[in-house]
Amino acid sequence: MTALLNHFRLASLPPEAEAFREEVKDFLASHMPDSPPDVRARSWMGFSAEFSRAMAERGWVGMTLPQEYGGASLNAFSRFVLVEELLVAGAPVSAHWIADRQSGPLILKYGTDAQRRFYLPKICAAQAFFCIGMSEPNSGSDLASVGTRATRTDKGWRLSGRKIWTTNAPRCQYMIALVRTSGKPEDRQRGLSQFIVDLSLPGVTIRPIRDLAGDAHFSEVFFDDVELADDALIGQEGGGWEQVTAELAFERSGPERLYSSIMLLDHWIDCLRRSGDAEAHVAVIGRFATHLATLRNMSVTVTSQLVQGASPVVEAALVKDIGTEFEQSIPAVIEAAIAADPLAVVDADLYRTVAYVSQVAPTYSLRGGTREILRGMIARGLGLR
């Protein structure tokens, strides 16, 4: 057995995390907006600052951050339970999503004490929302070809370039951007650094991008000689590649990589239950349940490694790649099941939900690293490259 596969030892959520689950369910029962399934299917693209602040009042935004910064000092197991329940309910979580999952832990690990004391309490109070500045036009999945550049000035840094596919940029106060501070794009991973960019600064322009479903979550962000203070640099100059790799492990390891289509699956099963047609699809439902249970166990194992202080970059890539295949299979299978009986009356909510999920499902294997990138990482982890 390779070292990579040896890391996937069955782990389970501790009793205190399971007890926390009931608390989350009670919160959702009283705070979830009354929305149809096609709206709830947008869960981690659904933006509600009001909902995020209600969560923050319970201590559930930045919940793994230390109490001295406004966090709850809970571990990754509790966050796993919280995220799982939010996604299964279809809660609108995208306002605080990135700050909670990536930006806060990144600032805690690599930031200065002043950065921690300024940004982390705002994140925990859901007063500061963050977006990610990694992808660039004409680069595809080649993150190391970053061309956006920050140049030293007498007062700090001058930032110029462009980022794309930035989620919720018009609604966020800050971006953590990966940019080049030395060398050329041909230098690949060398000469990269991360900066916290205040998106209200002069020279920042945000242009929304509308997707196939008609939503405008993505944006293109332009930096035209944006003046950044010295303290905008996070971590070490030139250490951006190591930092962003660690950040991506947070993005790829969570249960959100399993549940993107869960609202559709749940509603389809509910429709079959009400129509009495479940028996005809019981084998398909059983396969979905088996795959989900296995993937969930793998995700819990990755979470247990995070709790132990490890950085399971390759393990998270494996879960994300297999999880994405599972998520993308659900709308295709349900579409085929509906099409197999063209004379049947289709539930209107089911029709709208499968239409939405089918439109956005191709993006599942793009966000957080494409399938080709992830499989390259897995191959290296298995010693095949």
Residue entry with tokens 């609108």: 92
Sorted by sequence, the CB contacts under 8 Å of residue 193 that are 6+ apart come out as 150, 178, 179, 180, 181, 233, 235, 236, 237, 238, 239, 240
Residue type, position 121, single letter:
P
Q: Does residue 251 have an active-site annotation?
A: yes
231: phi > 0 → left, psi -120 to 50 → alpha, else beta; which? alpha
User: Which string of b and e fits 277-308 if b means at least 16 CB within 10 Å?
Assistant: eeeebeeeeeebeebbeebbebbbbbbbbbbe
Q: Which of 251, 256, 315, 327 is catalytic?
A: 251
Q: Tell me the chain's radius of gyration from C-alpha atoms.
A: 21
Sorted by sequence, the CB contacts under 8 Å of residue 216 that are 6+ apart come out as 208, 209, 210
Give CA–CA dist 164/166, Å, rounded: 5
Q: Which two tokens stand for residue 119?
A: 């940004």
203: phi > 0 → left, psi -120 to 50 → alpha, else beta; which? left
Q: Which two tokens stand for residue 365?
A: 């294997």
Torsion angle of alpha carbons 122, 124, 127, 131, nearest 10°? 90
Task: Report the chain's terminal Cα–Cα distance, integer Å.
Answer: 17
Residues known to be catalytic: 251
